């Protein structure tokens, strides 16, 4: 354990390195656990991150935030409240909830793709961004007529650098009213297990956890296609390849790069270091996913590699609730985009990235769609 290596972590947070933090992760992995100047413990190898993700001595509670007076969502809670709320949130969905959404998803992706004209378009603003919003609206029961309003709240409340409290409040208020419309929120309310505040907090969590993450997965996938158009041809020629392709994007360029909201409840020995009780801990999922001890040639993007579980969705009790939906959205997006992007030119490479080092992804992917249309 060294603090010198820990200072590399501040370079990871620096926006100038946002387009490619991976060489910095390689440096960080030299020490499985390093400490930053302000005492944060940063964990970077696959084995150490995998060991800590399910460890009950790491708490997710208490770290953040007063979200407009709501109780913390289950992402930010420990058992028993975490388990109770997560179980209740799953209950109305049923085992086929994602498969049930597929026809709608295919139709939405087709509509958005149909609007991409052979000129300059932005694959983020015109495709990757609206698709997950429309899907989550369909899931929660937001009527089509309200979607534009909903989108403005999301823009102002969730994707702005400085979240707009007013927009968050309006969103929470709207969610609370949605209990009357057919959809997940009405089913959750009918179930009766959650208080009204817990219901709104859960709905906000589904929205927040599921939105920008999925935008980034679709955008990161599109970026691979734009840089290496041969993948477009393969995706068109080999139905089913999109499944392995999405898994490899999740491993190679995960939308959630790190988990920053864990606190040690006890002294925790890991990889030759002891993380002291009370320390803030950051788990570097993106560094773990490129650990050569786990993945051969980890920097190589290779959907044909022997499948091995990655950590893009976390692990343990907080394992991503929406992983099947996120996967399907990205797979459908790829199937839809591959023939379109085969003849496209990326106008700016590297593209401009969003500011966040945690939820990392391109802010824009401006492309010229041309000859092979
Ligand atoms: C949790 C990643 C999409 C809902 C998580 C966690 C990760 C993650 C890493 C674990 C957090 C932790 O351990 O503290 C992703 C990625 C996505 C994605 C990479 C897209 C590519 C979604 C979607 C939804 C969703 C579409 C909802 C529809 C959630 C929820 C949790 C969660 C509710 C909290 C689970 C818990 O605390 O028990 N996600 N997610 N996510 N995700 Fe996702």
The pick from 209, 217, 319 for probing ligand 1's pocket by mutation, whose C-beta has the most ligand atoms within 8 angstroms, reads: 209
For each of the domains in the chain, give its residue range(s) and CATH number, in order of start: 3-369 (1.10.630.10)
Indicate the angle between helix axes 323-341 and 241-252, nearest 10 degrees: 110
**Distance (Å, rounded) from C-alpha 170 to C-alpha 288?**
38
CB contact set of 84 (below 8 Å; sequence gap of 6+): 193
225-236: pLDDT as tens digits: 999 999 999 999
Task: Name which of 61, 75, 83 is nearest 280 in CA terms.
Answer: 61
User: Which whole number is the average pLDDT over 336-362?
Assistant: 95
Strands 41-43 and 280-283 turn out to be parallel
Q: What is the pLDDT of residue 373?
A: 46
Q: Encode pLDDT of 244-272 as tens digits.
A: 999 999 999 999 999 999 999 999 999 99
pLDDT for 65 equals 61
Percent of the chain whose pLDDT exceeds 70:
95
Q: Cα(307) to centroid of ligand 1, in Å?
A: 21
Confidence of residue 135 (pLDDT cuts 50, 70, 90): very high
Asked if the model's pLDDT at residue 8 lies above 50, the reply is yes
Of all residues in the chain, the percent with pLDDT exceeding 90 is: 72
| Torsion, Cα of 258, 259, 261, 266 (10° steps) | -110
For ligand 1, the distance from its centroid to the CA atom of residue 119, given in whole angstroms, is 35
Cβ burial of 44 (10 Å; 0-12, 13-18, 19+) is buried
pLDDT of 11 > 50? The answer is yes
Asked whether 321 lines ligand 1 (CB < 6 A), one says yes
Q: Which of the listed residues 310, 323, 328, 361 should we mutate to test ligand 1's pocket, taking the one with most ligand atoms within 8 A of CB? A: 323
What local confidence, expressed as pLDDT, does residue 5 receive?
Answer: 64
Q: What is the pLDDT of residue 63?
A: 66
Kindly report, residue by residue over 39-81, the tens digit of the pLDDT: 999 999 999 999 999 999 999 997 666 667 889 999 999 999 9
Question: What integer is the mean pLDDT of 334-352?
Answer: 96
CB 305 within 8 A of CB 65: no
pLDDT greater at residue 3 or residue 19: 19
Q: Is 313 in the pocket of ligand 1 (CB under 6 A)?
A: yes
Check whether 291 has a pLDDT greater than 70: yes
* Mean pLDDT within 315-326: 97
Q: What global pTM score does this model have?
A: 0.95
């Amino acid at each position: 354990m060294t603090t010198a290596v820990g200072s590399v972590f501040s370079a990871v947070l620096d926006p100038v390195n946002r387009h490619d933090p991976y060489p910095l992760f390689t440096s960080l992995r030299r020490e499985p656990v390093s400490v930053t100047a302000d005492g944060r413990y940063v964990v970077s190898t696959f084995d150490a991150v995998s060991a800590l993700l399910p460890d009950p001595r790491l708490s997710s509670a208490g770290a953040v935030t007063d979200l407009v007076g709501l109780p913390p969502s289950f992402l930010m809670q420990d058992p028993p409240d975490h388990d109770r709320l997560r179980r209740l949130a799953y209950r109305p969905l049923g085992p086929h909830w994602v498969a049930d959404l597929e026809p709608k998803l295919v139709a939405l992706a087709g509509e958005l793709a149909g609007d991409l004209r052979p000129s300059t378009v932005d694959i983020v603003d015109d495709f990757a961004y609206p698709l997950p919003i429309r899907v989550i609206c369909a899931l929660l029961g937001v009527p089509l007529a309200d979607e534009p309003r909903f989108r403005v709240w999301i823009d102002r409340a969730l994707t702005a650098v400085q979240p707009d409290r007013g927009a968050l409040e309006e969103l929470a208020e709207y969610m609370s009213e949605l209990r009357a419309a057919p959809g997940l929120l009405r089913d959750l309310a009918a179930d009766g297990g959650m208080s009204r505040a817990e219901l709104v907090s859960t709905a906000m969590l589904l929205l927040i956890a599921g939105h920008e993450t999925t935008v980034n997965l679709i955008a990161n996938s599109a970026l691979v296609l734009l840089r290496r158009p041969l993948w477009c041809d393969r995706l068109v020629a080999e139905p089913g390849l999109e499944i392995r392709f999405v898994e490899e994007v999740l491993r190679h360029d995960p939308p959630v790069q790190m988990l920053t909201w864990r606190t040690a409840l006890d002294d925790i020995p890991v990889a030759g270091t002891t993380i002291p009780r009370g320390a803030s801990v950051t788990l570097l999922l993106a560094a773990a996913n490129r650990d050569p001890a786990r993945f051969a040639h980890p920097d190589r993007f290779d959907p044909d590699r022997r499948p091995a579980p990655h950590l893009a969705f976390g692990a343990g009790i907080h394992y991503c609730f929406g992983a099947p939906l996120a996967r399907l959205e990205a797979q459908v997006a790829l199937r839809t985009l591959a023939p379109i992007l085969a003849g496209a030119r990326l106008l700016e490479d590297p593209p401009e990235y969003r500011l966040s080092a945690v939820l990392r992804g391109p802010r824009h992917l401006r492309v010229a769609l041309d000859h092979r249309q």
